[in-house]
Each structure stands twice: as structure tokens, then as C-alpha cells.
Amino acid sequence: MAAPLNRLTFRATMAQVSVPATSANLGSGFDCFGLALDIRDRYAAQILDDQVFDVDVSGEGADEIKKDGKNLVIKSMMKGFEFMGGKPRGIALRALNVIPQGRGLGSSASAIVGGLALARALVLSGDEYMSDDDLLAIGTEIEGHPDNIAAAIFGGATIAWMENIMGKEFARAVPLQVDPTIKALVFLPENHLATTKARKLLPETVPHHDAAVNASRSALLVHALTQRPDLLLPATQDLIHQNYRSEAMPKSVALMKKFREAGFAATISGAGPAVLVLHTQTQAELPELQALAPDSFTAISAQISANGVS
């Protein structure tokens, strides 16, 4: 439900936000689990009197990202302003992208949540017009699913779902406090993969046995993430989505299986093709873990981000 129409007062000064990368699914938690990683895109914006969108993007994917009113951050900002009851004439936006584009690390969720948070920050008493739950609802409407959006807003690990209330679907989410010993390694292949393409590879139905395995493992994943990191390997076991997508990313799926056979909790990050490894290794032990990946993958070590958009 949109906020009531009002005369918004826009801030004259620039607003800045940063948004973490996110990894969805985590193996067993298809379309519901999300994890925030301390790899952050940064956005700054200011209201303009002129009717123009002045957009400058640097960093990851800068040459491929739209720099006009079709920019995803700008579109999300305008959705946020519309929800709060008013729109500015123009916006100046500066984006510094660090999150790899099209690799399954939530770059679109970062842009959407960043845009909504910027809109809120550019309105006096913006928190009164648009809550974090509103951010989740609007962000999910734009993105199409809540898992990455929830993790980008709340940080840490999140469980997100769609709930039917009086005939209407609402995005809901709860945060989990991740065990501080858990860290992440991300392995990036050279290729990209569109989420829409990855979703088309999924079957309409899966065997009852496979669904039951995933249900048990996703329940275990809550315990593993919060209290028992030693259970991450069985907790991230998946039978309902990763193998079906292997034809689109055979090298990534092969690397994931190689890590799992070696005893590490590896998953395809989101829709891929990045591979996420959750581990409790020390810094000195990381080279041995990284050596399992071929040179065609780039390794990025990341902490779990306890904070979402800020």
C-alpha cells in the first residue's frame, strides 16, 4: 500500500549509501536464504532543480550500465519517491560499483536497495514515510523475488518468503545472526549468466525425495549458520536447482562439486556462475583452499557483512 500523498521536503545536501553484495540460495535454501557479503557498492545522490538525470558510474560494469532515467538506481529512487508521495524534478547520481555484474552476487539488488535508501535519505523524515519493511516490499516488486533484497537491507543471513494475506502477496523476511567464525570465498569465472536464463533451466516439478532432502537441509542450515559451522557441508546440500543449471555453467558446477568432495561447503552463488565457499579457515590456510580452483577463476575473500544498506 502506498504512503498517503504529501508535500515532501527534499534535502538540499547530498545523500550517500553503501549496499553489500548478496549471495542467495546457499545451496539448500532455494529462493529463500540470503547472505550479505562485505563487498559494497557505494552511491551518492542529490536533488536537482532542473528536469534532468545526471548519472555517472565508475567501477564494475561502468561501460554497460545505463546512465539516464533507465538506470536501475534512478528507477528505484523514483519508485521510492512515488511511494512517499512526491517526485523531484531531477537527480544527480554518482555510483562506484565494486560488486561484479551478472555473476550471482546481487548487483541488481544492490542497485534497487541503494536507490530506495537514497530516496528515503533525500527526504526530511524519510524514515517516517518508508520503513525497512516498505523497502523490502518495493524492492521485491522491482526485483521479482525477496532473497537478495532482504539480505541487502538487513545484512547477515536472512530468510525471506512471500506470504498471501487476504489474497495479496507480501514479501516477508527475518534476519539471522551468523556465527562470527564463518567467512566466505567467492570464485568468479570469466563468463556472465543472466538470472532469467538460469531460471528457464529449472523443471516445473522435482521428485518428492529431492524436495524432502532440501527441506531437511535448509532447516539444518539455520542451525549451521548461527551455531554449528561444522554442519555447513550437509546443510548446503541441494538437489532441486544447481544440477539442473549445470549446462549453463559446467565449469562452475564442476568446481562446486570439487570443493564439496574436499569437505568444503560450496554452492553456486544465486543464479551463478560464481561459486561461494563458506568456511572457517584461518588466513594461513586460505592458499591451500584457493589452490583447488583453476586459474580461470578469480578468488575473492570476503567477510560476512553484519550490516545491510547503510
Report the distance separating Cα 89 and Cα 63, nearest Å.
26
The residues, any chain, with a CB within 8 Å of residue 135's CB and separated by 6 or more, are: 113, 116, 117, 120, 149, 153, 309
Beta-strand runs (E) in the chain: 15-24, 33-48, 53-59, 90-97, 157-165, 168-176, 183-188, 265-268, 275-279, 298-303
φ and ψ at 304, to 5 degrees? -75, 130
Instruction: State yes or no: pLDDT of 222 exceeds 90.
Output: yes
pLDDT band at 104 (very low <50, low <70, confident <90, very high): very high
Q: Domain 15-175 is in which class?
A: alpha beta
Integer CA distances (angstroms), 265 to 62, 160, 223, 278, 279, in order: 32, 21, 14, 5, 7
Report the pLDDT averaged over residues 29-52: 97
Radius of gyration of the chain (CA): 20
In this model, does residue 5 exceed pLDDT 50?
A: no
Q: How far apart are CA 287 and CA 156, in angstroms?
A: 25
Nearest to 99 by CA among 140, 61, 151: 61
Write the pLDDT tens digit of every residue in 252-272: 999 999 999 999 999 999 999
Model confidence band, residue 7 (pLDDT cutoffs 50, 70, 90):
confident
Burial of 181 (0-12, 13-18, 19+ CB in 10 A): exposed
Tell me the mean pLDDT in the region 38-64. 95
Cell of 16: 550517500
Determine the topology of domain 183-303 in CATH. Answer: Alpha-Beta Plaits (3.30.70)
Identify the pLDDT of residue 2.
46
Q: What gap in Å lies between CA 126 and CA 224, rounded to an integer? A: 37
Q: Which cell is 27 given?
A: 545451496
Whether the pLDDT of residue 4 is over 50: the answer is no
Tens digit of each residue's pLDDT (9 = 90 or more) over 122-166:
999 999 999 999 999 999 999 999 999 999 999 999 999 999 988
| Spatial distance between the Cα atoms of 283 and 280, rounded to a whole number of angstroms | 10
Helix, strand, coil tally for the chain in percent (to 5): 35, 25, 40
pLDDT digits (tens, 9 = 90+) for 159-188: 999 999 888 899 999 999 999 999 999 999
User: Measured between alpha carbons, how far is 192 from 274 in angstroms, rounded to an integer?
Assistant: 9
Enumerate the domain spans of the chain.
15-175, 183-303
